Structure 1
Amino acid sequence: MRDMTMVTNAQKANGTGNIPLGAPQQDHELSIRVRLSQALQMSLDPTEVVSLFFHQIQPLVHISGVIFKSASGKDDSRIGRESLHHCDYRLTTDEGYLGEIIFSRSKRFIEAELMKIEQLLGALVYPLRNAIRYQSAMRLALLDPLTLVGNRAALNNSLKRELQLANRQHQQLSLLMIDVDYFKKINDDYGHHRGDLILCEIAKTIQSVCRSTDGIFRYGGEEFVVLLNNTNSLGAEIIAERIRERISDTHILHNSTVIHTTVSIGIATHKANGNSEIEELFERADKALYAAKQSGRNRTFNSDYSDKN
């Protein structure tokens, strides 16, 4: 694997690398490099930046496929078709390791082509770094800083998208509203720091029970919301009970004292081909949560039961 280390300087602010491109032998090649540099500035999506690079360099070096493996593991990209022969590069700036990029094709690369790829990578590194930074900032803007699950803004975005998807694909969508029982007493008795630790443990527990495709959000204070796509009322109740039981079994030590906590959960389901809106779905889940609280806490309540009454 070749190591492509870039050193940031004033010139790099415009997205150019420090690998010398060399004097172009033809005006055609120069124009391709100029178009490449311009194209890479047009997007802040890492996958799109890699895709632009892949397509723009084809007249100079034919490549069948490219894979970019981000250092964070969150911006991986696969473009084209992976083939037998490949060349790998570690992309590094003076600010740290960006990731690994792998080019492949059916025909073995010759040394002159490898040198040309290395020259061209100088134009990719900093636009790719900027795109990764932007995507990371966007993700952080949608995360609750304490529990690292989605925040209220992320919930609003996801709920609109999931409801539209459920309607388009004629699927059911379930919503769980989770509230920590007696959380004010926990804060009063053990302090807000311990209360924060409990919220973090609850968020981790919810994540451990839910599927990777489910959305988990901190709604505010001690309340969480879970979106269960393509899940009917019964399936949502099973998952809610697993969450409730798992949290009930979770304990946190404080000065040799075991802090025991429980949650109450309200369930609402958007039926396939239904007409429920976001507000109505939340209202039903909230009423179900209130019923769970009123009936003794540490339990789940499904709005479908009350709807039938």
Structure 2
Amino acid sequence: MSSIQGNTIDFDSARLKLSQANSAAAPPKRAVSRPVPVAAVLQRLTQLLQTTLELDRLLDIFHQELARCLAVDGMEYRNDGRRFHLRYGQSATHRCSYRITHAGEYLGDLQFSRQKRFGEVQLASLETLIGSLLYPLRNALMYHEAVSSALSDTLTNTGNRLALSQALDREVQLSIRHRTPLSLLVVDIDHFKQINDRFGHAYGDEALKAMASCTHDCLRAVDSLFRLGGEEFVVLLNNTDLASARIVAERIRRAIEAMQFEIDGQPICMTVSLGAVMRQPEETSRDLIDRCDKLMYLAKQSGRNRVMV
């Protein structure tokens, strides 16, 4: 039968546990085996957690140390507000969970599991060690937010040109290394200037956001959407051949054509033209985008609201 225990850890109380553990760092000299050498683990863990700002790596380090000193089998971290759900190790029968906060700021939920039931000594040690995680966890979340802001288009909540450049270079290398297909779509809103001229740029921005949201809903979780500029977007489809890319492109085209978009209660018909390509041998990232862009413009010249491959 499994057991689940839940607690909330606030930074101030955790810091108090941390200072108490440090003040009691010297173990007694008599030969008594201690279940968990908390002070020694705490010192090592504090140093290790200062070595990275990458959230996944940070939590992996924390789990490895807990597995070593407290026989923790599995650890799960959730932060729904930031869309993080990370798992480490293997989930076991007995579990305990903690809601992590700092000065009223929610940092996430941690759940730990192991084969043996958590006793009072193990829970006290675990809570002390969580105290060493709070500062690094907060810093890692701040770092992730800063990086995400630098790589995102604030209007449409898609990746920006810099994010596209980095992602495309990475996916090209992975495609070469693993010999897997890589496809790309360029999507452009038809007659977008007319929306701006007729209703103003504020409504044009709303049209961009609606189009980006609709496109995103047509994609797999592993696909990526970027704003190349203006009303032009790029979809990156890893491990996808041209036939499959065309299916995705048609799905996007139909979804946007059927989208219910209104301005001041007036329905606005919105369509897109798309180019679809699959990377050819020796083709660079820039070559791939240029070839796809030309196909998108060919779709516009051929009557718009269509896909060209």
Normalised by the shorter chain, which TM-score bucket? 0.7 to 0.9
Q: What residue number does 1:96 align with? A: 105
Cα offset, 1:25, TM superposition: 4.7
Map 1:266-281 onto structure 2 (within 5 A): 266-271=275-280, 274-281=281-288
Cα offset, 1:225, TM superposition: 0.6
Q: Pick closer, same or farther for the CA change 1:251–1:107 going to 2, 3 Å.
A: closer
Matches of 1:232 and 1:79, distance apart in 2: 33
**Tell me, what secondary structure is at the counterpart of 1:99?**
strand
Q: Which amino acid counterpart does residue 291 of structure 2 have in structure 1? A: R
Cα offset, 1:29, TM superposition: 4.8
Q: Which amino acid counterpart does residue 169 of structure 2 have in structure 1? A: K
Q: 1:78-136 CA deviation, whole Å, 9 max, x = no partner?
A: 22222111221111111412111122211112112211211221111121111122112
Matches of 2:58 and 2:244, distance apart in 1: 40
Out of 3, 10, 33, the position equivalent to 2:8 is 3
Q: 1:4-32 CA deviation, whole Å, 9 max, x = no partner?
A: 11239xxxxxxx82324331352865343
Q: What residue number does 1:12 align with? A: none
Map 1:74-223 onto structure 2 (within 5 A): 74-223=83-232
**Tell me, what secondary structure is at the counterpart of 2:107?**
strand
Q: Are positions 1:263 and 2:261 aligned together? A: no
Q: Percent identity?
A: 39
Cα offset, 1:58, TM superposition: 5.2
Cα offset, 1:66, TM superposition: 1.8
Matches of 2:236 and 2:204, distance apart in 1: 24
If the length of structure 2 is used for normalisation, what is the TM-score?
A: 0.88
Tell me, yes or no, if the aligned pair for 1:6 and 1:92 is still in contact at 8 Å: yes
Q: Pick closer, same or farther for the CA change 1:41–1:152 going to 2, 3 Å.
A: same
**Tell me, what secondary structure is at the counterpart of 1:17?**
helix
Q: 1:125-180 CA deviation, whole Å, 9 max, x = no partner?
A: 12111112211221222111001011111111111111111222222211111111
Matches of 2:65 and 2:241, distance apart in 1: 47
Q: What residue number does 2:34 align with? A: none
Matches of 2:277 and 2:68, distance apart in 1: 55
Tell me, yes or no, if the aligned pair for 2:25 and 2:40 is still in contact at 8 Å: no
Q: Pick closer, same or farther for the CA change 1:215–1:29 going to 2, 3 Å.
A: closer
Root-mean-square deviation (CA), in Å?
Answer: 2.0
Give the stretch that moved more between structures: 251-260 or 221-230.
251-260
Matches of 2:231 and 2:70, distance apart in 1: 56
Q: 1:204-243 CA deviation, whole Å, 9 max, x = no partner?
A: 1111111111111110000001111222222222221221
Q: Pick closer, same or farther for the CA change 1:116–1:21 going to 2, 3 Å.
A: farther
Give 5+ residue unaligned stretches, structure 2: 1-5, 29-36
Q: Which amino acid counterpart does residue 300 of structure 1 have in structure 2? A: V
Q: Pick closer, same or farther for the CA change 1:21–1:225 going to 2, 3 Å.
A: same
Out of 50, 53, 58, the position equivalent to 1:44 is 53
Tell me, yes or no, if the aligned pair for 2:279 and 2:288 is still in contact at 8 Å: yes
Cα offset, 1:50, TM superposition: 2.0
Out of 287, 301, 306, the position equivalent to 1:299 is 306
Q: Pick closer, same or farther for the CA change 1:56–1:170 going to 2, 3 Å.
A: closer
Matches of 2:278 and 2:66, distance apart in 1: 50
**Tell me, what secondary structure is at the counterpart of 1:211?**
coil
Q: Pick closer, same or farther for the CA change 1:206–1:59 going to 2, 3 Å.
A: closer
Map 1:13-52 onto structure 2 (within 5 A): 17-19=15-17, 20-22=19-21, 23-26=24-27, 29-52=38-61
**Tell me, what secondary structure is at the counterpart of 1:98?**
strand
Q: Are positions 1:284 and 2:305 aligned together? A: no
Tell me, yes or no, if the aligned pair for 1:172 and 1:230 is still in contact at 8 Å: yes
Q: Pick closer, same or farther for the CA change 1:175–1:60 going to 2, 3 Å.
A: closer
Tell me, yes or no, if the aligned pair for 2:159 and 2:227 is still in contact at 8 Å: yes
Q: Pick closer, same or farther for the CA change 1:25–1:207 going to 2, 3 Å.
A: same
Q: Which amino acid counterpart does residue 7 of structure 1 have in structure 2? A: D
If the length of structure 1 is used for normalisation, what is the TM-score?
A: 0.88
Q: Which amino acid counterpart does residue 293 of structure 1 have in structure 2? A: K
Tell me, yes or no, if the aligned pair for 2:100 and 2:110 is still in contact at 8 Å: yes
Matches of 2:69 and 2:296, distance apart in 1: 62
